[in-house]
Structure 1
Amino acid sequence: SRPSPEVVTEWVSIAQENNLALKAQRIALDVSALDIDLAKSGHLPTLDASANLGVSKVSGFDRADSSSIGINLSVPIYAGGGIEAGVRVAQANYVEVSQAFEQTHRSVVRQVRSSFNDVNSQMSVIRALEQAVISAQSALQATEAGFEVGTRTIVDVLLSTRNLYDAQRNLSGARYDYILAQLQLKQAAGNLTEQDLLAINSALIN
Structure 2
Amino acid sequence: MSAEELQATYDEAVKNFLLIEELSNGKQEPSDDDYINLNRAYFRVCTHFYDSFLMMIGSFKPFPAIVILRSFQEVYTKAIYLEFIEKPKKTDVKPLISGEKNFPSFFHMATALDKFGKEGKNGLEGSFIQFTKQGLAQYEKFSLFTHGRGEFLQAFMKSDKVALHPNDVSDLINTARGMYETFSLCYFGVQKLGNEFQKLNNELHKSALYKNQNAG
Q: TM-score range by the shorter chain?
A: 0.3 to 0.5
Name the structure where strand makes up a greater proportion of residues. 1
**TM-score, structure 1 length as denominator?**
0.36
**TM-score, structure 2 length as denominator?**
0.35
